[in-house]
Amino acid sequence: MTITDRPEAAAAAPSAPTVYANPGTAGSVMSFKPRYDNYIGGQYVPPANGQYFQNPSPVTGQVFTEVARGTAPDVDRAVEAGWKAFDAWGKTSVAERAVILNKIADRMEQNLELLAVAETWENGKPVRETLAADIPLAIDHFRYFAGCIRAQEGGISELDQDTVAYHFHEPLGVVGQIIPWNFPILMAVWKLAPALAAGNCIVLKPAEQTPASIHVWLDLIKDLLPAGVLNIVNGFGIEAGAPLASHPKIRKIAFTGETTTGRLIMQYASENLIPVTLELGGKSPNVFFADVADQKDSFYDKALEGFTFFALNQGEVCTCPSRALVQRSIYDGFVADGLDRVAKVKQGNPLDVSTMIGAQASNDQLEKILSYMDIGKQEGAKLLAGGARADLGGELSGGYYVQPTVFEGRNDMRIFQEEIFGPVLALTSFDDYDDAISIANDTLYGLGAGVWSRSGSQLYRAGRAIQAGRVWSNTYHQYPAHAAFGGYKQSGIGRENHRMMLDHYQQTKNLLVSYADGPMGFF
Amino acid sequence: MPDRLTTDGAGVSAPAPFGAPSRVDVTDAAADMLRHLAETNGQLMFHQSGGCCDGSSPMCYPVGMFRVGASDILLGTLHVEGTYPIDVYMSKSQFEYWKYTHLTIDIVDGRGSGFSIEAPEGKRFLIRSRMLDDRELEAFGLATHGAV
């Protein structure tokens, strides 16, 4: 997820250590609290049932904090707190809200290392990524929507000389947001920033796999938001997520996750007749046309990085380029060079700034990835790299590490069709342009895709032909706030990022005004 | 209504005759958890998920919570002693890619997944897969395609 800062630049910052100390130990830039309650109405309150669940770090497998096990009464309380705050918050000026969003961004920037280390400890991803991507992107997201809301205008339509239609943007009210565990802070911010900018109040349910880092963020910024504008209820999906998604008093529900839960969210939304936005993942093709290998230059080098991007964030990205399609005429050479690059992916302590691949986010995720490696082998796919759990020794032995893995096979195999959500690449070849597009589109999903070519017209045609909401062209894994992100087909409904995201958090009010002096003449 | 996959025209809501091919099975550990969950949730069902995060996993719900429909297919029914029959569904589109595999529902230590009801127990249902054997391919009318 490269952005403005390059990972090596972040790692080379003069004051930055080469290995960050574990949170809570001597020399660490941050500590987690031993316990996190729910945050409702501007204060931390214990869960209604008094229960907590333990939260392990994927880095070591050891528990580092416990978190409120919220249930329906906590959700009720949070929704109520949201409505109590909404009257005032929904009427704040866009300038006021933009200032608050910018201040949140500034606080985050001042605490970049703290947030990055917290996120790494929570999720297992390398600090190289949290320093250079997760947190800087989240910061920029607040600034982007601060700008958007200031620049947004309503509309005036002059219907005739005496009749005018005014269109105003209004916030929806209290909205529900259910956050995934792969980018706990960034995915929360993708939903929070537009919702807050538009003047909504929020009840947010973090993933139970990664429930704590959002509270580290909240501690930094909570004084900037009026009480009740943002409420966080932790807990399990069935106990806290379902009561939130089905709550009769929320005006919208946003969810990132998988298809079955996505359907359930829509089912609840249909009962309450509220809108949903869903981001449900994909099986993204990464297409390398033959002309990529015309020269062994820096563009070729860039394409090899593109090939290796399946390992970013341990493959736990909805747009993971988990299917590589390489044109047959360059296949052997390009794949050999690609595997060389994969072999150079450094696996290790996620808090070491030189580590490129860290731990999978949870034990069950690790188990699922291993089960897919097993089915890949059974289906007859050829293992070209990796293929097993990685034991990194010492305290990391308890963590959830997987070797970057490459399988060669056919697009109808299950490892080519199902989102493994791990560092597992399914590799195949194609003959020509039509073959490439056909294989690329032979999937249930359509979230992301990559196309690599030196020919501008080929790049353009392929990008338009692939049925996916985001086609990276001669790049991959860039997530600027200013580019719309969302899926075709079973990858979901609606978009995130970009100004258009405001539409998902706003109601349109039309005032239809007659300035005519006399009656219309019907009666 | 979801489609039902049948092996003998008689439907799969009754236990399959001993030795008859089935697409789904359950491990003893998963069966124990299902018995435990059934005590408080009543009759259960599974829907196999796709997509990101907790996707590609079997989601367990009390019957009535998740609406199956015409886009789904009933893969089979688990008969776990001490519970009502547990139907296992998947979307038809996903089944097209899964039809050559036999699925066994297992359980591992885990930390939540969607709205599946076992999560608070600190466990997670997981699919173990194997390719259908020749006899099963024959029984399911897939023999001409080959498994691999």
A388 and A244 fall within a common domain: no
Last residue of a domain, one of A247, A280, A313: A280
A249 and A334 fall within a common domain: no
Question: Rounded distance, CA A411 to CA A442, Å?
Answer: 8
Last residue of a domain, one of A257, A280, A303: A280
pLDDT tens string A389-411: 999 999 999 999 999 999 999 99
Does a structural domain hold residue A491?
Answer: no
A148 and A197 fall within a common domain: yes
* Domains, in order of start, for chain B: 22-139 (2.60.300.12)
Mean pLDDT for the stretch of residues A343-357: 98
Beta strand B86-91 with A38-40: parallel, antiparallel or unpaired? Answer: unpaired
Does a structural domain hold residue A506?
Answer: no
Beta strand A285-288 with A448-452: parallel, antiparallel or unpaired? Answer: parallel
**Considering chain A, what is the average pLDDT of its residues?**
96
Which structural domain range is residue A91 located in? 7-280
**ipTM score of complex:** 0.92
Does a structural domain hold residue A515?
Answer: no
A303 and A261 fall within a common domain: no
A358 and A302 fall within a common domain: yes
Q: Do B126 and A260 touch (CB under 8 A)?
A: no
Q: Are A162 and A516 in contact (CB under 8 A)?
A: yes
Q: What are the φ and ψ backbone dihedral angles of B49, each rounded to 5 degrees?
A: -95, 160
Integer CA distances (angstroms), A508 to A217, A254, A259, A400, B118, in order: 32, 19, 29, 47, 41
Does a structural domain hold residue A488?
Answer: no
Per-residue confidence (pLDDT) for residue B17, from 0 to 100: 60
In chain A, what residues touch B57 (CB-CB under 8 Å)? 258, 364, 368
A209 or A3, which is more confident: A209
Q: State the DSSP code for B29.
A: H
CATH of residue A310's domain is 3.40.309.10
Q: Do A363 and B98 touch (CB under 8 A)?
A: no
For helices A213-221 and A94-110, give the axis angle rounded to 10 degrees.
120
A436 and A311 fall within a common domain: yes
Mutate to test the interface with B, among A71, A210, A259 (most CBs of B within 10 A): A259
CA distance A130 to chain B (A): 19
Mean pLDDT for the stretch of residues A52-62: 97
Q: How many residues does chain A have?
A: 523
CATH of residue A139's domain is 3.40.605.10
A192 and A43 fall within a common domain: yes
pLDDT tens string A437-472: 999 999 999 999 999 999 999 999 999 999 999 999
A244 and A296 fall within a common domain: no
pLDDT tens string A287-303: 999 999 999 999 999 99
The separation between CA A181 and the C-alpha centre of its own chain, rounded to angstroms, equals 9
Does a structural domain hold residue A273?
Answer: yes
Per-residue confidence (pLDDT) for residue B52, from 0 to 100: 80
Per-residue confidence (pLDDT) for residue A14, from 0 to 100: 57
Tell me the one-letter amino acid at A306.
Answer: G
Does a structural domain hold residue A372?
Answer: yes
Does a structural domain hold residue A436?
Answer: yes
Does a structural domain hold residue A502?
Answer: no
Per-residue confidence (pLDDT) for residue A3, from 0 to 100: 47
pLDDT band at B3 (very low <50, low <70, confident <90, very high): confident
Question: Rounded distance, CA A489 to CA A319, Å?
Answer: 14
Per-residue confidence (pLDDT) for residue A12, from 0 to 100: 46
Residues of A with a known catalytic role: 279
Number of domains in chain A: 2
